[in-house]
Structure 1
Amino acid sequence: MKKILLLFLLITTLNFSKENVRAVSTSQFTTEMLLAIGAENQILGTAYLDDEILPELREKYNKIPVLSKGAPTKEQFYSLNPNFLTGWKSIATPKNLGTVEELKENGVEVVFTKSQDSSKIEDIYSDILMFGDIFNLKDNAKNVVKNMKEDINKVKEKNKNKNNIKVFAYDSQESAPFVVGGNGIGNTMIEIAGGENIFKDTNFSFGIGTWEKVLDENPEAIIVIDYGSVSYENKIKYLKNNSPISQLEAVKKNKFIRIPLSYISPGIKVSKGIEIISNGLREEKK
């Protein structure tokens, strides 16, 4: 009896994995991963768009319903009859779509990417390959990973004999800066791009830093993450006119590198994000 039950579970899992996925994606990075591997026909809806979808994925994306700018309601979610959920981990909480246990009880398989809690680009590759397996698009997923590796290796080769440039990566906030820390993919991207993150010794991916630390470190370039209700231009205006670091050389000389949030999030854009940072750092060095 146990063998029969085990076989049944295996068969239903395989059927789910290969043919019957009805997915909702609640982060831009998972949405772009799924679109990049060609899973658009199995995506019922999306949410949490940080900025523009990659141009080559836009046509696919525009055919899929957007449930919400932020977290969709349970009514919006279940109206689609999904059986698969991925995206930000925060979506599986009582105030949003319910706990993982509740979702599973309602017939929804929940898969969160390992890379959103990791500083390793290899974990992004693993997530893409995982989705390739779940959506029966293994070859497509392998090609996406292959192209990302090639692009990143080109940047590594370009920077291998160059000195690292000290960098402050500013996300937002004024009383104390919200920054890219040392325990996430952003720090790894900065290192590959030829930078040294002044908050590399912190244990967070994004978190609260201090203006005193920025002043003490005197970075040569400032990465400014573009997203949210405060525009990139207004962030620059604050740093130049009202911030405690307005007199730093990097600020006075406009040594700013703009990067949209989705290019420094754990998804397929990291290779392009690394290139943006690398080009910006080398430009500042001239």
Structure 2
Amino acid sequence: MKTSALALGLFIIAGSALAETTVQSCDREVSFDTPPKAAISNDVNLTEMMLVLDLADHMVGYTGISGWKTLDKEMRHGIDALPELSAKYPSKEVLVGADADFFFAGWNYGMKVGGEVTPETLAPFDIKVYELTESCIHIGEKAKVSMDDMYNDLMNLGKIFAVEDKAAELIDGYKAELADFTASLNTGADPLRVFVYDSGEDTPFTAGRYAMPTALIETAGGKNIMDDFEKSWATATWEEVVERNPEVVVIVNYGNVTAEEKRAFMMNNPAFADIDAVKNDRFVVLEYVEATPGPRNIKAVQKLAQGFWGE
């Protein structure tokens, strides 16, 4: 009996160890004994990743959407039972007060380097953090952005919440849809020169080498003119834009300045008169949720291709 009891104890211990799930989050490993039950996501694209995996029942709310963006009907339907706990970046008190056990955010997607809310500041409250892959460049080195960044986040969420099969099915479907689309895409001999205009008039806020639009543009047959800009989302100069002469401008639509207002600013500014995209009035609009990592990236590629090649 003693031997059997010992064996049973060892079996239980081994089973518990096997049940632990560990994922890579930027430069950290994060382990989970059980799926989180009181998760909070920040920003519209990260929240949609949670929803597309049917994880609303594991959530106690979301943050960081209405302060900058509006929710479309599809998004409202997905989270109508969940409260928005903070219109912009949440404070530590907001997360602790909600009894959260998990925060899905990113650097400059709900967290600031050296800020109040980080994996380290939340650890004493047993709130585990998974960081958006695209954002990891803010705290260390990473490879150039690719569609795999988004797939990686979906798969890691699948592991964390024990819905790996659902995540794998989604990812396989996205990859197949994208492969079918790009296989029939008729592009030019050379990639189109593309500039991403997020915001700003004195200086443009744009997407560099590590921001998702670079991957979307390349998949659609273009080339981000700022893909040698060793940044994610950051401020450049208009002089650089004029010198690199984009053939198409991709406008990111969100906030108080509309996409049409951003287009009008470029079209009516004499300093931009010789830019090919301005001369030919070639602008493509992506919604914020399409331009940032998330489930709508596949449709974003198709929208870009339509604007680039008429496909």
TM range (shorter): 0.7 to 0.9
Query: Quick one: structure 1 residues 12 and 100, their matched pair in 2 at CA, closer, same or farther if it must change by over 3 Å?
Result: farther
**Partners of 1:73 and 1:120 in 2: CA distance:** 31
Q: Which position in structure 2 is the counterpart of 1:101? A: 120
SS state at 1:25 partner: strand
* 1:122-141: CA deviation from partner (whole Å, max 9, x where unpaired): 13212111111111211211
**Partners of 1:94 and 1:236 in 2: CA distance:** 32
* 1:48-99: CA deviation from partner (whole Å, max 9, x where unpaired): 2254557555422122111122112333322221111111234445986533
1:113 aligns with 2:140: no
Q: Which position in structure 2 is the counterpart of 1:38? A: 54
Q: Which shifted more, 225-234 or 6-15?
A: 6-15
Q: Which shifted more, 123-132 or 68-77?
A: 68-77
SS state at 2:188 partner: coil
SS state at 2:168 partner: helix
Alignment match of 2:277 (pick from 221, 245, 250)? 250
SS state at 1:172 partner: coil
* 1:46 CA displacement: 0.6
* 1:158-190: CA deviation from partner (whole Å, max 9, x where unpaired): 336533212121111122222222233221111
Query: Quick one: structure 1 residues 232 and 191, their matched pair in 2 at CA, closer, same or farther if it must change by over 3 Å?
Result: same
| Structure 1, unaligned runs of 5 or more | none
Q: Which shifted more, 201-210 or 52-61?
A: 52-61
Aligned residues of 1:36 and 1:57 also touching (Cα < 8 A):
no
Query: Quick one: structure 1 residues 142 and 17, their matched pair in 2 at CA, closer, same or farther if it must change by over 3 Å?
Result: farther
**Partners of 1:241 and 1:208 in 2: CA distance:** 21
- The letter of the residue matching 1:156 is T
Aligned residues of 1:24 and 1:86 also touching (Cα < 8 A):
yes
1:208 aligns with 2:224: no
Aligned residues of 2:96 and 2:125 also touching (Cα < 8 A):
no
TM-score normalised over the length of structure 1: 0.86
- The letter of the residue matching 1:25 is S
- The letter of the residue matching 2:307 is G
Moved over 6 A (4+): 6-9
Q: Which position in structure 2 is the counterpart of 1:240? A: 267
- The letter of the residue matching 1:67 is L
SS state at 1:166 partner: strand
1:266 aligns with 2:284: no
Aligned residues: 281
Identical-residue share of aligned pairs (%): 25
Q: Which position in structure 2 is the counterpart of 1:135? A: 161
| Structure 2, unaligned runs of 5 or more | 1-9, 22-30, 137-143
- Higher helix content, 1 or 2: 1
Q: Which shifted more, 247-256 or 259-268?
A: 247-256
**Partners of 2:35 and 2:245 in 1: CA distance:** 54
- The letter of the residue matching 1:108 is I
Aligned residues of 1:182 and 1:203 also touching (Cα < 8 A):
yes
1:176 aligns with 2:203: yes
* 1:19-45: CA deviation from partner (whole Å, max 9, x where unpaired): 442101112222111110111101111
**Partners of 2:256 and 2:267 in 1: CA distance:** 19
1:157 aligns with 2:175: no
SS state at 2:184 partner: helix
Q: Which shifted more, 129-138 or 95-104?
A: 95-104
Superposed CA RMSD in Å reads 2.9
TM-score normalised over the length of structure 2: 0.80
* 1:17 CA displacement: 4.9
